[in-house]
């Protein structure tokens, strides 16, 4: 099992770690700053620095079948560290920050468009959410204006953990109909955007909404009878 440091501090870019297992399909560490693919957010990329100074490029990060061990997928032909070795795990921070900004922007988009979310994807400084918006008309310019208003509020983003039972007693917290938050471990991670939003989420977010920067709504598409897909894009950090 891997200690997931990104859940407590999304701004930590590297850590020392011990190799648990090492195969071409993935290198497992006892702790990591690499976000493992899930919840619509891609797995991190970066490098492992081995004891002899050589580096293994990491092209993706995924959960192993046990959902508790995180596998760092090495580039083809990369040098594999031996089990028990100490390594430094370092993420591609530029890429991660783009995803943190996009992920947080999507939380705000779900505030601006207050409809049940049926799907979504966090990209690199861009992303999309699918809404079950019924008969509502989604106005591109209005959504963009309000989204930027919320970003400019510079609201604090924080997380806390609650017991599964508490979430079950408050099902209104769950905005995503298709992707239920991971339960069964006894606790669920809640992301709060001060005064604006509270929802279960396992992803990585910026600490204040102003870090998202200017956002534009790049498209609103019809996906089936009742679903609307809203795409957003962010400017440079
Ligand atoms: Zn989130």
Ligand 1 centroid, distance to 20 Cα (angstroms): 29
Tens digits of per-residue pLDDT, 100-157?
999 999 999 999 999 988 899 999 999 999 999 988 889 999 999 999 999 999 999 9
Ligand 1 centroid, distance to 68 Cα (angstroms): 19
Structure-token match 């079948």, residue found: 65
Tens digits of per-residue pLDDT, 213-235?
999 999 999 988 889 999 999 99
Ligand 1 centroid, distance to 16 Cα (angstroms): 26
Mean predicted confidence (pLDDT) in 200-218: 96
Ligand 1 centroid, distance to 203 Cα (angstroms): 5
Ligand 1 centroid, distance to 198 Cα (angstroms): 10
> Tokens in use for 33?
């700053």
Three-state SS at 172: helix
Distance between CA atoms of residues 32 and 90, nearest Å: 9
Ligand 1 centroid, distance to 119 Cα (angstroms): 13
In which region does residue 220 sit, left (phi positive, over 0), alpha (psi from -120 to 50) or beta (all else)? beta
**What is the pLDDT at residue 237?**
72
Ligand 1 centroid, distance to 205 Cα (angstroms): 6
The length of the chain, given as a count of residues: 237
Q: Are 77 and 48 in contact (CB under 8 A)?
A: no
Residue 178 has pLDDT above 60, yes or no: no
* Phi, then psi, of 5 in degrees rounded to 5: -65, -25
Distance between CA atoms of residues 183 and 190, nearest Å: 12
Ligand 1 centroid, distance to 40 Cα (angstroms): 9
B/e letters for 30-45, b = 16+ CB within 10 Å, e = fewer, are ebbbbbbbbbbbbbbb
Cβ neighbours for 117, distance < 8 A, ≥ 6 positions apart: 110, 129, 130, 131, 132, 175, 176, 177, 178
């Amino acid at each position: 099992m891997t200690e997931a440091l990104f859940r407590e501090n999304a701004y930590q870019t590297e850590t020392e770690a011990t190799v648990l297992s090492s195969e071409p399909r993935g290198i497992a560490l006892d702790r990591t700053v690499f976000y493992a693919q899930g919840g619509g957010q891609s797995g991190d990329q970066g490098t492992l620095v081995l004891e002899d100074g050589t580096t293994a490029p990491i092209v993706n990060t995924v959960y192993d079948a046990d959902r508790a061990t995180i596998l760092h997928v090495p580039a083809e032909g990369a040098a594999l560290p031996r089990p028990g070795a100490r390594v430094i795990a370092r993420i591609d921070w530029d890429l991660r920050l783009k995803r943190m900004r996009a992920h947080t922007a999507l939380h705000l988009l779900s505030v601006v468009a207050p409809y049940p979310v049926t799907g979504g994807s966090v990209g690199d400084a861009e992303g999309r959410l699918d809404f079950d918006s019924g008969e509502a008309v989604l106005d591109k310019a209005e959504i963009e204006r309000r989204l930027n208003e919320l970003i400019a509020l510079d609201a604090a983003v924080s997380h806390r953990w609650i017991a599964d039972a508490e979430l079950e007693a408050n099902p209104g917290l769950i905005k995503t109909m298709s992707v239920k938050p991971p339960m069964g471990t006894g606790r669920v991670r809640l992301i709060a955007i001060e005064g604006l939003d509270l929802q279960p989420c396992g992803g990585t977010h910026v600490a204040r909404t102003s870090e998202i920067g200017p956002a534009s709504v790049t498209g609103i598409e019809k996906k089936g009878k009742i679903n609307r897909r809203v795409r957003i894009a962010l400017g440079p950090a």
